[in-house]
Copies of this chain bind each other. A is one copy, B any other.
Amino acid sequence: MNNIFSYFLPKDVKFFPLFEKASSNLIDMAALLNQLVDADASRREKLCKEIETLEHKGDEITHQIYLELSKTFITPFDREDIHALGSALDDIADYIHGASNRILLYNVTDITEPIKKLSELIIQGCNDVDKAVKELKNLKNIRVITDSCVRINSMENQADYVFDQAVANLFDFENDAKNIIKYKEVLSALETATDMCEDVANVLESIIIKYA
């Protein structure tokens, strides 16, 4: 490992705690999403509001990351990478919120199996994102990060498969075109949340490639 890096790294007390806050927040959001897809229609609005509250919390963390970046001269790794990681974590939050919002807005009362399956994959993805992000501060065990990235990629492949099959089933078994569009929109937001987990993995991989 780069010596200069190992020298500065332990001293950073600004960025790593913020990244960890952001990734913990994603785990909470993913947990609420999974409650939402299992909940009675009556509890959905409340859960959706809670997800929105966490999304705002995430926005503030992202903002703090950018603010620190503008005030800090020596950063633990490239400023661009800090910016990219902050914004990639924020994107996951946006799509979890977007998916839950669509379920509510479009009155998707019947939560289908693919919706539940994708929500579970999002939990897996956020757990691996969190695991990798927490390892970033010491980089002693890079394997932890690369393993998480591999699992995130495989999770995203599964999500693609679930999405494709679900849409094919809509064409085969759903005759109301309006419903096809609605469900496709919800499934697509969920699938995009897993894409955003993959984007985080890509940023992490490119950070590792440079510094490790």
Contact = CB atoms under 8 A, between A and B. Distances in A.
Contact of A210 (B79, B168, B171, B182): B79
The DSSP consensus for interface residues of chain A is helix
Nearest to A184: B181
Interface string A200-212: 0010011011101
**Which bracket fits the contact residues of A?**
20 to 34
Interface stretch (A11-19, A99-107, A113-121, A131-139): A99-107
Contact of A105 (B107, B164, B177): B164
A194 to B, nearest CB: 14
A165 interface: yes
Interface in A165-212: 165, 167-168, 171, 175, 177-178, 180-182, 184-185, 202, 205-206, 208-210, 212
